[in-house]
Amino acid sequence: MSPKVVEIRDLTVKYGSFTAVEGVSFSLGKGTFGLLGRNGAGKTTILRALLGLVRPSGGSLRVLGLDAASDPLAVRARVGYLPEGQVFFPGMTGFQAVAFAGRLSGLSRRVARKRAHEMLYFAGLGEARYRPMEGYSTGMLQRVKLAMALVHDPPLLFLDEPTNGLDPAGRKQMLERVRDLASAKGKTLILSSHILSDVEAVCDEALLLHEGRVLERGLLGELTSAAPSVREVLAAGEESSLRAALEEQGISVLRVERAGPFLKFRVGLPPGAGGREIFLAVSKGGGVVRSLVEARRSLEEVFGETVGGEV
């Protein structure tokens, strides 16, 4: 069993009379984790509490074996944090800001400058690194913030909404790089996002947060797997006849949607039935099965089902 990288027990954080996080407990080993929830769910508060920026009203937090409440500076020295929002060092270029962040983390001037170049290239910011940060777009700022989070080569990364403000190509690139950090370089990564597809693209495990509480936790595969008797059938044919033939076999049609020239059925099998019954029913309805797979739920569906309402 891998040692715990993050351990939270009964964490409660209050801002005045408002409770932002209540009774949250979880522990994480090495890997990639997603904190998933709507705005105001408590994701940022948990990250800030782990960095010792927010004093918890109750509970305990340990990061890399260190107590985050009593030894926050040691925790921050070992963690790279990409904060949410438009934050930057005023009056500096991207390059100066990353080098400065490195020096604040204890790097020597020479190493900080060398490292700033390397990390800005890695983050995908080219010659723009010599321009003042005041003129940066949100996407460019995100890249600089990623470089700042990585400049001191921390083993643990907290990324708070890392794809905010990035165009689709930039978003894909950012997620690929983040994923690469975990898979190729062995970094442990906690990604907080309200964009479910970002978490799906990067993380192995996710925590669903709602109104300051953990609703569900699990491997993404487990979270998104549907009931074992549910299948997804891609078929060619007439919708009404196929539906009638399936129902005649005792197979319940849960959902039908068009997928290009085909129909995508989500069906529930009766006890004892299998793929054979589906093939027979579709054939009887005058159609052809193009594919048959075990159904999976998207994270959106999981979230919607757990929390209720729109995601």
Partner 1 sequence: MPVFERGYLELREDERPGRPSWTVLPQEEWASWLRNRKLLILWFVCIVPHLVLLVRTFMALALVGLDGGPARGRGPSPAFLGDPESMAFYAKTLLEDSLLPVLVFLAATAIRTVSLDRKSGALELYFTRPLSPWRYILGRWTGAAMAAASVTALPVLLVWLTGALAAPDWGFLKETLWIPGRILLQGAFFASVLGICAAALSSMSSSVRTGQILWVGFLAVMHLVFSGGLRRFLHEEWPAQFSPWAILQRVGEAILGVDPEVPLSLSWCAALSLLLVVLSLLVLRRNLKPLEVVG
Of 81 and 265, nearer to partner 1 (C-beta) is 81
Residue 171: both structure tokens together: 């978003």
User: What distance in Å separates the CA atoms of residue 87 and residue 208, rounded to the nearest whole number?
Assistant: 27
Buried b (16+ CB within 10 A) or exposed e, 163-172: bbebeeebbe
15 is a contact residue toward partner 1 (CB under 8 A) = yes
Residue 269 carries which DSSP code? P
Q: Which is nearer to partner 1, 143 or 152 (CB)?
A: 152
Residue 91 near partner 1 by CB under 8 A: yes
Residue whose CB is less far from partner 1, 142 or 224: 142
User: At closest approach, how far in Å is the CB of 124 from partner 1?
Assistant: 9
Q: Is 95 in the site for partner 1 (CB under 8 A)?
A: no
C-alpha distances in Å from residue 249, one per residue of 219, 236, 255, 276, 291? 34, 18, 17, 11, 19
Among 25, 121, 252, 275, binds partner 1 (CB under 8 A): 121
- Distance (Å, whole) CA 80 – CA 187: 10
One of 58, 65, 130, 185 touching partner 1 (CB under 8 A)? 185
Pick from 65, 106, 221, 275 the residue near partner 1 by CB under 8 A: 106
Q: Rounded to an integer, what distance in angstroms lies between the CA atom of residue 193 and that of residue 203?
A: 11
Give the alpha-carbon dihedral of 111, 191, 206, 213, to 10 degrees: 120
Residue among 5 and 101 whose Cβ is closer to partner 1: 101
Using CB under 8 A, pick the residue from 58, 167, 172, 180 that binds partner 1. 180
Q: Is 108 in the site for partner 1 (CB under 8 A)?
A: yes
If binding is defined by CB under 8 A, does position 40 make contact with partner 1?
A: yes
**Under 8 Å between Cβ of 212 and 24:** yes
Q: Say if strands 230-236 and 288-294 run parallel, antiparallel, or are unpaired.
A: antiparallel
Provide the binding-site residues for partner 1, judged by CB under 8 A: 15, 18, 20, 39-45, 48, 51, 53-54, 73-74, 76-77, 81, 83-92, 100-108, 111, 115, 117-118, 121-122, 126, 148, 150, 152-153, 160, 177, 180-181, 184-185
